[in-house]
Amino acid sequence: MLLPQIKDPEQLKSLSVEELTTLADEIRRFLIEKLSVTGGHLASNLGVVELTLALHYCYESPRDKMIYDVGHQAYVHKILTGRMDRFDSLRKQDGLCGFVKRSESKHDVWEAGHSSTSLSAAMGMAVARDLKGEDNKVIAVIGDGALTGGMAFEALNHIGHEKRKLMVILNDNEMSIAPNVGAMHNYLSKIRSDRHYLRAKDEVEGLLKKIPAIGGRLAKTAERMKDSLKYMMVPGVLFEELGFTYLGPVDGHDLEKMIDTFHQADNVAGPVLVHVLTTKGKGYQPAEADSYKWHGITPYKIESGQVLKAVGNPMYTDVFGQTLIELGREDKRLVAVTPAMPGGSGLFPFAKEFPDRMIDVGIAEQHAATLCAALAMEGMKPVFAVYSTFMQRAYDQIVHDICRHNANVMFAIDRAGFVGADGETHQGVYDIAFMRHIPNMVMMMPKDENELRHMMKTAIDYNDGPIAYRYPRINGTGVTLDKEMHSIPIGSWERLRSGDEVVVLACGPMVQLAEEAAELLKREGIQVGVVNARFLKPLDDTMLLDLAHAGTHMIVIEEASQAGSLGSAVLEFFAEHEVYETHVHIMGVPDIFVEHGSIKEQRQLTGLSVEVLCGRIKSMKALSAFPYGKTTTSS
């Protein structure tokens, strides 16, 4: 066994290509075995085993900067850089992160949970290298899916313009360019990167231009002939026109060819794009057969590929998907738009029934938002189905193109709140804060999956501007789903329990937590009110003023950033209405990035637990023994 001996990537340089091939097989077996227990991103990592081995064989990490786009394809990189022994803790609290993480290893030079950032990062590192007078290599690995992101094309344009030396590896596991693979193509790739060829080409052009009278025309004719040949025979014309030297396509599972191609790339002075063809799920039949399903997978049985899922109530995402179909049958104006998340957003059933009304724009959140604005302006009913964490990328378009125009766009915000194993880059705890302050926006969050259905009906019946409903990445509560959906009055809250002196204002999953705390305290003779604060904007002004005038103390609890979310909105409301006699305590996610772990652990870490809430209620109740001060709002 070679794998247990590899503690540092430098050890790879002493291995033969045959030994590296054996090591690739061992790494695949290791990944298949470990992820069958922990879950994680399997298909993408099985596809880059040889690619990652070739990179670490040819280059010196961390001196040479290897940047992995998103980072969920960096498990092999983690194995080769001394973290193999930690894979049992993958995506668990205080364990190995599922993405590249700078604090985890000196070999992790760039971290991101959102795609299409690698090329900009590579350019930044190349500029820094040149300014410091250093000579290390900079290498960005980007998938063809991530290349659909507009940010990647902005970076390609800049890199090609600047002509700095760096290498972009396009890991292509979707597009088929097989006809361009052949002896002639490999020959062209080789001679175009050969140092002697490049020098000779420059010398010939120089000599032609020196010929009196006709030299310039001869040089231009030669240039046109060269361009014609290039357009006929080179598949990477787009990248060539952007200023890159294009090499490939190369078989991403042929170690010898990749090593040779990387050596060719090193001979080129400016930016190089190496086009690598790989197969997602390589080496594990279930993952090869359905790479989408096996992109991010829960624990499974290795022999059969059977996924081990806990039995439980349908997830909010599933309820959303089914309800959207029902609404789509009723209203032919309804169009679903998603940025490369049709499966994760529960839209596959909708796409099957309404293929013409399902639009997947790729990893292009900004484009998706503006597209929705235009659809709405033309009388359609667009539903922008997006994860909370990815919607952050479309902030400018939400402000400028949707809300400023008061476009009737519906936001279906999935993964709102904690997301568990994906960790800090994917937590959906910021959208309330960055959306509720935008004029014309309406925001809702349901207490259970049945209320989600009614909120979806509310949104499609609403015609006065943008409206959002957000829901978590968890199973529903198991309540009965009403067959008939109805609209909820905009801005109305729901009293679930009456209380003597303290009321908890909760939204989303925190409503169940508040109910549980109230039930526990009831046994101690303490009556606590619970309000389902289902509208995050606008607030229920009447209920808030009634509670304040009754002398009720309030605790606002939410699985969202404490700064700027519902709690802040309530405090702002009382300040605006000059209500200074009411005690308000807010419980939310503190000013930290919450790392990976289970959702339960993340709630415990941030104090969003029944025990902490009960303690806060008792503390608030103790305030009743004291006369009101002047300004007693607290957080």
Q: Could you tell me the strand order of the sheet in which 494-497 lies?
A: 494-497, 528-532, 502-506, 553-561, 584-589
Q: Is 280 a catalytic residue?
A: yes
First to last CA, the chain: 57
Considering the candidates 28, 34, 393, 447, report the single residue annotated as catalytic.
393
Residues 6+ apart with CB under 8 A from 223: 205
Considering the candidates 111, 240, 365, 449, report the single residue annotated as catalytic.
365
Alpha carbon distance 448, 124 (integer Å): 45
Alpha carbon distance 233, 236 (integer Å): 9
Alpha carbon distance 519, 523 (integer Å): 7
Q: Is 329 a catalytic residue?
A: no
**Based on the number of CB atoms within 10 Å of its own CB, is 405 exposed (0-12), middle (13-18) or buried (19 or more)?**
middle
Q: Is 558 a catalytic residue?
A: no
Considering the candidates 129, 280, 436, 457, report the single residue annotated as catalytic.
280
Identity (one letter) of the amino acid at 382? Answer: P
Token pair 């090329």: residue: 119
Distance set, CA 236 to CA 4, 60, 168, 188 (Å): 39, 28, 13, 12
Residues 6+ apart with CB under 8 A from 133: none
Rounded to 5 degrees, what are φ and ψ at 224? -65, -40
Contact status, residue 339 vs residue 364, Cβ threshold 8 Å: yes
DSSP tag of 113: S
Report the DSSP beta bridge partners of residue 587.
Answer: 557
Distance set, CA 424 to CA 94, 336, 392, 596, 624 (Å): 12, 28, 14, 6, 39
Report the DSSP beta bridge partners of residue 170.
Answer: 142, 275
Helix (H) / strand (E) element for 65: namely strand 65-68
> How many CA atoms are closer than 13 Å to the CA of 120, on its beta-carbon side?
15
Token pair 């800049």: residue: 158
Known catalytic residues are 280, 365, 393
